[in-house]
Amino acid sequence: MIKIYPLSEAKEGILKRKPIYQDSYSPATIARTESVFGEGVMPHQAVMQILKSIDEDGDAAVQKWNATLDRFDAPNFGIAKADLKAAWERIPARLQEVLEKSAARIRDFHERQPITSWLTNEMGGEIGQRFTAIERVGVYVPGGTAPLPSSMLMSVIPAQVAGVKDIVVCTPPNPHDSILAAAYICGVDEVYQVGGAQAIAAMAFGTESIPRADKIVGAGNLFVTLAKQQLYGLVGFDGLAGPTETMVIADADANPAWVAADLLAQAEHDVQASAILLTTDEEMAKKVQAEVAEQTAKLSREEIIEASLENKSGIVIVESIAEAAKLANDYAAEHLCLAVHDPKALMDQINNAGGFFLGEHSFEALGDYVAGPSHVMPTGGTARFASPLNLLDFVKVSSVVALDPETAAALSPIAADFADTEKLTAHANASKIRMKSA
């Protein structure tokens, strides 16, 4: 059952962003961690053990953790290109068509994103910016409670469009054929059966089998996120993904069955997923609540959905659409669905969202698979400052300075005075020595 909250209660509960402290791990997570790593070992400490061992022992440590955590002890965890092709040939023709059409739209969307190096001679000589693709990218594709071939497409294709030449993929052992088939149609040559924190460590440090990546992208579970957090700086990351979330703003004219379906589509991801409805209409709230109950009973992941609805989800009654816009802007949802009469006008009132889904025909599940933009989006309120995965995640910007002698001579006294102010005499000397020559 999804609960209907008054606004005051929601502000102190489901709408309130909270930092993730080490003591916020669920009892079940702590119990699972202690069963493997020993009594009193917290998840972040377990991840530290995994990272250290892979840094020191490479493939041997990867094999150890594969066997310990995923019951997969094969010494060779690479997947041959022939096996990717075989997986493609095994999947149904309709799934082949689905993957191809989704891949085409994702590629088409990202090919439209402008990324252009530039130089100008209007500032004396030449000055500008140079965009170059990151040389080697690691992609993590989750495969825990459900196979996610869409995550392969959504992460690999933008990297390819950006010009990344070397892409390595890690995914938990014994991956579903659909994941391997997605790798095949993307043309990925390196796929390894390694999951969790050990996958992030292997791509960050490099092992005998898995070359070191310059940047790693892709969402994962708590242990993947903790590994990213601890390795930040050694390697680049797209972000620290938290549980997925959606927020729907609906007016009195919205379709309650569709709104409920969209909330449930998010809730089924994870017991910590958030599915929140803001509505001005109390009758709409009650209809959606009833629809959620009716539809949940027919869905395969009913237990996960019910836990999600109980933990971090709910329906909130607000005074006006304008108030809903303010709440949405403060919450900064990963997915913001606007089921209102004029969604474009409402979007103009909101700055913070990973993705805007305008109108009830642009529902979020389409964005997960086939609309075009990557579904790897900022969670946990980070949409206030972060963006969905896009081409800029796979390129570096270098400044280019090629001043002519006249401009350099004109700027040198300014630089020298700046350096003297900062008491950096060597900086000042580099300018003054040229001034004497001029």
SS3 319: coil
H/E element holding 11?
helix 7-11
pLDDT at 51 over 60: yes
Cβ 246 vs Cβ 170: under 8 Å = no
Helix axes 177-186 and 81-90, enclosed angle (nearest 10): 110
Domains 4-15+243-363 and 78-239+391-395 share a fold: yes
Considering the domain 4-15+243-363 in this protein, what is its CATH number?
Answer: 3.40.50.1980
User: Mind listing the pLDDT tens digit for each residue in 73-101?
Assistant: 888 999 999 999 999 999 999 999 999 99
Q: Which of 334, 360, 364, 375 is catalytic?
A: 334
Q: Taking the alpha carbons of 73, 74, 75, 80 in that order, is the dihedral positive or negative?
A: negative
Q: What's the Cα-to-Cα distance from 85 to each of 150, 184, 414, rounded to whole Å?
A: 18, 6, 62
CATH number of 78-239+391-395: 3.40.50.1980
Look-up of token digits 């991956």:
175
Q: Is there a catalytic annotation at residue 334?
A: yes
**Domain layout of the chain by residue ranges:** 4-15+243-363, 22-70, 78-239+391-395, 404-437
Helices 405-421 and 425-437: angle between axes, nearest 10 degrees: 150
Distance CA 193, CA 186 (A): 18
CB contact at 8 A, 171 and 141: yes
- The pTM (predicted TM-score) of the whole model is 0.92
Q: Token pair of 223, please? A: 């242990």
Query: Minimal CA–CA distance to 381: which of 336, 331, 326, 327?
Result: 331
Of 360, 378, 116, residue with least CA distance to 248: 360
- Is 419 in a helix, a strand, or coil? helix
- First vs last C-alpha separation in the chain: 79
| pLDDT tens-digit map of 162-205 | 999 999 999 999 999 999 999 999 999 999 999 999 999 999 99
Q: Which amino acid is at 188?
A: V
Given the residues 335, 360, 364, 375, select the one marked as catalytic.
Answer: 335
Q: What is the pLDDT of residues 297-334, one digit of tens each?
A: 999 999 999 999 998 899 999 999 999 999 999 999 99
Query: Which alpha helices (DSSP H) does 246-342 contain, by range?
Result: 256-267, 282-296, 302-311, 321-331
